Structure 1
Amino acid sequence: MSDQHDHATHERHPKPEDQHGQSQRHPGSGEDMDPKPDHGESTYRGSGKLDGRRAVITGGDSGIGRAVALAFAAEGADVLLSYLPEEQEDAERTAELVRERGRKAVLVAGDITDERHCGEIVDRALGELGGIDVLVNNAAHQMAQEDGLLGISSEQFDRVLKTNLYAMFWLCKAAVPHLEPGATIINTSSIQAVDPSPQLLDYATTKAGIVNFTKGLAIDLAERGIRVNTVAPGPVWTPLIPATMPEDAVANFGEQVPLGRAAQPVELAPAYVFLASAESSYITGAVIPVTGGKPFN
């Protein structure tokens, strides 16, 4: 039965040959992707692992963020979704799906490259959810440059670092004073942290920084009873792909890993649920690779 289930799961998910060259205006939308990403809308089943928990998820409108929001809701958590104003439609759809699972969804649009907005996110969570038990720093900016270093402008470098690193720092700093023992912080890093692509040099640099930040913060917050971990995805079929990569790269996206395909967002969600739940109560400062078999070392 298990073998049949594993085979069915493997066959269900699209492979590179099911994709085609496509592009979108940044930040992109999952609704316009072909094939559409699976966020667990009908495939994730919860079992009460996060009953009564309150979670903040940045980049919660689509991709990994939507999958995490739906899984958290299915497991019994209320969520606050942070996203860019131009992602409003996707965010509203995610909120609708969360509410269909019987949980509360708070929508907060804005740009996390602004420290004041990061503070507002925490304030909204405290006011409308009554507190924060889980902080998921998931939002990220990337823009592939075929010329590598020489193609990266100072403006792009600044935006990538502020979205991926500064915002994580600001959100953690704003949230930690309000976190009780047992709370968790989960940061999204990447296989790029240890296997950087020249076309994503700035992005890869931030992902390595996230790993180090996670390990150091885990030690810093251990005496408070707050755990800090990171999930490191490999290739994932999200709107960032057609919105930031050349069309020919989109068509082949994911074929380089041993499993031969990109992950669907729903395949990342269980790692976040595990790290947010009491099942991982003795795990902190860890990197959980979800890379399709590509070594994280």
Structure 2
Amino acid sequence: MAHDEQRRQDPQDPVTGHPRPEFPQQEQEHPGWTGPMDPPPDHGEHSYRGHGLLRDRAAVVTGGDSGIGRAVALAYAREGADVMFTYLPEEQDEARETARLVEDAGRKAVAVECDIREEERCRALVERAVAEFGRIDVLVNNAAYQMSQPDGIGEITTEQFDRVMRTNLYGMFWLCKMSLPHIPRGGCVINSASVQAYKPSPHLLDYATTKGAIVTFTQGLAQMVAADGIRVNAVAPGPVWTPLIPATLPDTRKFGEQAPLGRPAQPAEMAPAYVFLASPQASYITAEIVNATGGTPLP
């Protein structure tokens, strides 16, 4: 056991240390599920070790049922935080697994079915968090929607455009606005941006547009609330192997190959950035975008 633990902490080749394409072609209905994915995503179940960086904090993570959200919830719990997270109705089984991981770390897990496209659902989520925890120390706006349209802007329906905007932007706006009165000095907001904010893929035009807006929103809000002792930052991942990929992209075989490291990230590789930004070690860091792109240079 000690040997296995040491091996997990040894330096790892970033090129060969995780699965690389070519992957099997796989398709799922949206929103996608972890179980059928090949290779299975790594959320840090066997590797993430906590160091008490978030002891007794109260965190709210949207889209915490799978992917980056699950990895963040797991890491936060192992760092000592209680975690409330959202999921969609069809993601109930995924949510149970995230809750189990949080509880296995000895922390409180509160799974809330919530479609953040609806303002009143966002309001109810914040009220539930305050009722459960008394405050919100860390708000992670991670839930997102994308759908590839390789045939161009003509194929992006108003319905799709509206769903992308309301999920990725409206939900974030509402949750920040409603949560800020309950975030104490020393608390923070962390948004999920993307490499798409800087290097948009044409087939993800609407999604990339929202990610660019998230960067601007993060930097503007950070200045607005700095005097209140609240920090606002974002993480901009590159390609990450999550259920959203087989559920929204037509070809998964070479996913992530374009990154200089030649592969997509695993969700577990994103979580440490979210932990750092939430921790006291980041006390002088606000209005920043932490790029985790596998080597793709960003401004």
Unaligned segments of structure 2, at least 5 residues: 1-5
1:32 Cα shift?
1.3
Q: What is the match of residue 295 of structure 1?
A: 297
The DSSP-based 3-state class of the residue aligned with 1:48 is coil
Does 2:18 align with 1:13?
yes
Check whether the contact 2:43–2:70 (CA below 8 A) recurs between aligned residues: yes
Query: Which AA in structure 1 matches 2:242?
Result: T
Q: Percentage identity across aligned positions?
A: 61
The DSSP-based 3-state class of the residue aligned with 1:30 is coil
Question: Per-residue CA shift, 1:178-215, capped at 9, x if unaligned?
Answer: 11110000000000000001100000000000000000
1:8 Cα shift?
5.4
1:9 Cα shift?
6.0
Check whether the contact 2:14–2:261 (CA below 8 A) recurs between aligned residues: no
The DSSP-based 3-state class of the residue aligned with 1:76 is coil
Q: Distance in 2 between matches of 1:107 and 1:51?
A: 20
Q: Within 5 A, what are the aligned runs for 1:152-191?
A: 152-191=156-195
Check whether the contact 1:148–1:200 (CA below 8 A) recurs between aligned residues: no
Q: Distance in 2 between matches of 1:138 and 1:269?
A: 12
Q: Within 5 A, what are the aligned runs for 1:187-266?
A: 187-246=191-250, 249-266=251-268
Check whether the contact 2:15–2:261 (CA below 8 A) recurs between aligned residues: no
1:151 Cα shift?
1.1
1:260 Cα shift?
0.3
Q: Which runs of 4+ in 1 moved over 4 A?
A: none
Q: What is the match of residue 3 of structure 2?
A: none
1:11 Cα shift?
3.2
Q: What is the match of residue 276 of structure 1?
A: 278
1:138 Cα shift?
0.2
The DSSP-based 3-state class of the residue aligned with 1:251 is coil
1:70 Cα shift?
0.3
Q: What is the match of residue 133 of structure 2?
A: 129
Unaligned segments of structure 1, at least 5 residues: none
Query: Which AA in structure 2 matches 1:269?
Result: A
TM-score by length of 2: 0.96
Name the stretch that deviates more: 236-245 or 79-88: 79-88
Aligned residues: 293
Q: Distance in 2 between matches of 1:119 and 1:291?
A: 33
Check whether the contact 2:256–2:263 (CA below 8 A) recurs between aligned residues: yes
TM-score by length of 1: 0.96
Query: Which AA in structure 1 matches 2:63?
Result: G
